[in-house]
Structure 1
Amino acid sequence: APILLRMEYHDAPEQEFVAPSRHKLHLNVFAGITVQDELMGVPEAVGFSGPTYISIRPSRHQTSSFAAFSAMDLERLMWLPSFQDMMRADGKLKPVLMLTVYGGPDESPRYPKTIRQAVHMFKKYDIDAFYMSVAAPGKSISNKVERRLAPLSRELFGVVLPHDPFGSHLNDSGAIVDHEMETRNFEYAANVLCETWSRFVIDGHPVVVEYVAHKGEDLNFENSIWYTNHVRESQYFLQIVKCGDISCCAPMRSNLKNVLP
């Protein structure tokens, strides 16, 4: 008898995200944006080019949040040669840090885990100001990371990621029976991606890709008084700025107060 098939298309909202399956690889993409000093003060100074960093993790072994992974990757950028000029000055992390995020799970500025990681980095590296923003619905197309993903996706045409180079870690029912072999198989597939993308150059800037096996750590933050004096949050924006009390915060390393009094 003939089989009748029916297909319906569903347009998911921009801010609707699906958590990756545990049998997939999770990619975290950072796009550095260079600022032209000679155009400082005009919007054209901020372009779309810069170095790219991608971390790859097996989703199955994620026991901490995406916020913890992103914080760990952000600290990793401090030591990458391609991000040195952008992240560091005089051997320290630059005093003002500005991030734009896509607003996915545990990534949006309004999520507590994201705020805890931001506060931890703010204190650890003596940052004057930490700003994180997310595009409003309908405006995510302006996210500069999207422009990096297009050429990277084209590089995967014809690339096959083997799922069992060291043997199958699944039984006939599809259940995992060998966790050690599963880890080795995932790492092999991730390294194929690393080799493919690491050869790529976007607008003259390198692409650094790494397989990350170790896990991030979720943090707790209980000092509500400190939070009230330093943190401002909304659905689309997170701001953490030093206060004027030298018994609480170290003196500012930048002239931010002259720009934003």
Structure 2
Amino acid sequence: MTSSSLLPQPAARRYGLLLLPAYPLLAIAGAVTQRQVFALLALALLLTVLLLPQLLARRASSWLLWSGVLAGLLLGWRHGFAELLLSAVPVLINALLAYWFGRTLATAEPRVARFIAAIEGPERLCQPGVAAYARQITWFWTGLLGAQALLLAVLLLCAEPGGLLARLGVASPLPVPERWAAGWLHLGGYLLLGAAFLLEYAWRRWRLRHLHHPGLHHTLLQLALRWPQLLRGERAVAR
């Protein structure tokens, strides 16, 4: 097998992004209908999207991992735990992102500074106020994501009647209707992060109004293009 026969990594990621919008739809369908099969499909889709570049590259280890995790999901579904596993995904995502932002606060280049260097070039950080603002916004995202991870964990535990405490036979100290909890776990939390991103963009343009700023479309496009390097902790240079 030659490398020319394999799908390029950027193309594989694009296919994954095309599949990803189906994930919240399946998650919400599961919460509304209370049918575990939708939770199973949402988890299987998320697993496939995460491993898609490696799967399309025909890596045996990735296919074995995908098959093993899928078998575990099927087992969880048979025992009625697919919905609970799905509800744990947003908690894990927010907690990992909070750690991802927060771990750079002790360094000379916090996470948002790396975003700025990737989107607008390293020289942008030398302009008045930019480096300090980058550190402040890294604190903001660390706090917001950490707080949301905690809130989602409480919803996962206290949802009635399908929360983790109820499944364990423990009375919830803060009962939350399951549909309200599921709505925030699978939709509201993501909408909050999207709104926070847009509000931060508007605040940045006002706070650093003495500087020229790229448009929102350009910012999102550059962030999507540089995302793999940023995930690996590399400092991508804007072009």
- TM interval, shorter chain, is under 0.3
Q: Write 1 or 2 for the structure with the bigger share of strand.
A: 1
Q: Write 1 or 2 for the structure with the bigger share of helix.
A: 2
TM normalised by structure 2 equals 0.23
Larger RCO: 1 or 2 (CA < 8 Å, sep 6+): 1
